[in-house]
Amino acid sequence: GAGVSQTPSNKVTEKGKYVELRCDPISGHTALYWYRQSLGQGPEFLIYFQGTGAADDSGLPNDRFFAVRPEGSVSTLKIQRTERGDSAVYLCASSSHGQETQYFGPGTRLLVL
C-alpha cells in the first residue's frame, strides 16, 4: 500500500514569508507526528496528533509554528514569518493505533533565503 507522502518535496521561500507543508499519512493510521531534521542531525520531535487533536506539541520551537489535522487524516504544518534558521527537512510519520513503529515520509526540504 501507499506510504506516507509529503508535499512539496522542496520549498524555497524568502525570510518573512508564510509556508504550509502537507502530510498524507498511511490510510487508517490514527497517530501522526512531525519532526524536523537539520543537516547532520537526527530528527527532532515537533508535534504529535492522535486523531484530530494535538496530543503533544511540546516540540514546537515557538508560536510561529502551528499544525492542524482537521479530519484526522491529512495534516498541515504552518510556519509564519519564516527565518533562515527554519531551513531544515520537515519529516512526517504515522503509526497505527497501539503500535510503536512510526513510518516516515520522504520529508519536505525547506530553504529560507
Partner 1 sequence: QQQVKQSPQSLIVQKGGISIINCAYENTAFDYFPWYQQFPGKGPALLIAIRPDVSEKKEGRFTISFNKSAKQFSLHIMDSQPGDSATYFCAAIPPGTASKLTFGTGTRLQVTL
CB of 34 to partner 1, least distance (A): 10
Amino acid letter for position 69:
R
12 and 111 Cβ atoms separated by less than 8 Å: yes
CB of 45 to partner 1, least distance (A): 4
CB of 48 to partner 1, least distance (A): 6
Let me know how many helices (H) and strands (E) the chain has, helices first.
Answer: 0, 11
Q: Rank residues 72 and 106 by Cβ distance to partner 1 and give the closer one.
A: 106
Q: Rank residues 17 and 30 by Cβ distance to partner 1 and give the closer one.
A: 30
Q: Rank residues 31 and 110 by Cβ distance to partner 1 and give the closer one.
A: 31
Contacts of 57 (CB under 8 A, 6+ apart): 46, 47, 48, 67
CB of 94 to partner 1, least distance (A): 10
Q: Rank residues 42 and 70 by Cβ distance to partner 1 and give the closer one.
A: 42
The reply to whether omega before 8 is within 30° of 0 (cis) is yes
Residues that bind partner 1 in the complex, under the rule CB under 8 A: 4, 30-31, 33, 35, 40-45, 48, 50, 55-56, 59, 91, 93, 95, 97-107
Q: CA 106 to CA 110: how far, in whole Å?
A: 13
